[in-house]
Amino acid sequence: MAEPIDLKQIERNVFRDYMRDGLVDILFGAYFSFIGFSLSSGAVAAFIVFPVILFPPLLRRLKERFTYPRTGYVSLREGEPQAEPRIILGSFVAGLLVLVAVLIAKEIIARPGQWYRWIPLFFGVWMAGTFVALALRVGLVRYYVDAGVALVAGPASALLPLPGKLANIALFFAAWGAVVLAWGVIAFLRFLHAYPLPPEGTGDVTG
């Protein structure tokens, strides 16, 4: 009797193959670093949000240029797969609780103007949970590393007595984004080495 098909495992494999080339990591890492440098320069929120609009078409062009000629076309169903939303939501709440606990301990909970320095604690916990959820969904070790770095970078950024209201937040995003970007570049170079272009004249692979 044939074993039943594990659709969830197939879905996970497809998602892992989609993320294996590191292009998503490169774009996200560059974006987080961009947020950090923008905050440090006092950029307005609209300027920070604008690159998100360019993300889908840019990712599609990069995959068409580097990925699909090597592995064939992979299309994910809309809304699938999800990266363990309960973990993401749980880490969001946990990050808020950590932030509030620190604000109370520092006796500045009633002084919002002094919260900015400690906000990296929230983002560190939230991003750590988000990337653990992604690692569990995809099965790629580099996302556990990204999560660990976020968990360390949050407190480290908050503890530094930096001048400027947004300096600590900017440092977190710039530093952590650089790590995500670096891992993405490493994954991309490994992908290019593992999947060289097929010889000319070979038919296109479609799926």
Do residues 140 and 16 lie in contact, with contact meaning Cβ atoms separated by under 8 Å?
yes
Q: Does position 203 have pLDDT exceeding 60, yes or no?
A: no
Under the banding of pLDDT at 50, 70 and 90, the label for residue 139 is confident
What is the reported pLDDT for 173?
Answer: 94
CB atoms within 10 A of CB 154: 27
Apex 63 CA angle, 190 and 73, nearest 5: 100
Q: Does position 76 have pLDDT exceeding 70, yes or no?
A: no
- Alpha carbons 198 and 192: distance in angstroms, whole number: 12
Kindly report, residue by residue over 140-194, the tens digit of the pLDDT. Answer: 999 999 999 999 999 999 999 998 888 999 999 999 999 999 999 999 999 999 9
Decide: helix, strand or coil at residue 203: coil
Do residues 143 and 172 lie in contact, with contact meaning Cβ atoms separated by under 8 Å?
no
CB atoms within 10 A of CB 178: 16
What is the reported pLDDT for 40?
Answer: 80
Kindly report, residue by residue over 81-113, the tens digit of the pLDDT. Answer: 455 788 999 999 999 999 999 999 999 999 998
Contacts of 49 (CB under 8 A, 6+ apart): none
What is the reported pLDDT for 48?
Answer: 63
What is the reported pLDDT for 12?
Answer: 76
Query: What's the sign of the alpha-carbon dihedral 121, 122, 126, 131?
Result: negative
Kindly report, residue by residue over 38-73, the tens digit of the pLDDT. Answer: 888 766 555 566 667 788 899 999 999 999 998 877
Q: Does position 204 have pLDDT exceeding 50, yes or no?
A: no
Q: Say which residue, 206 or 3, is predicted with more confidence.
A: 3
What is the reported pLDDT for 202?
Answer: 52
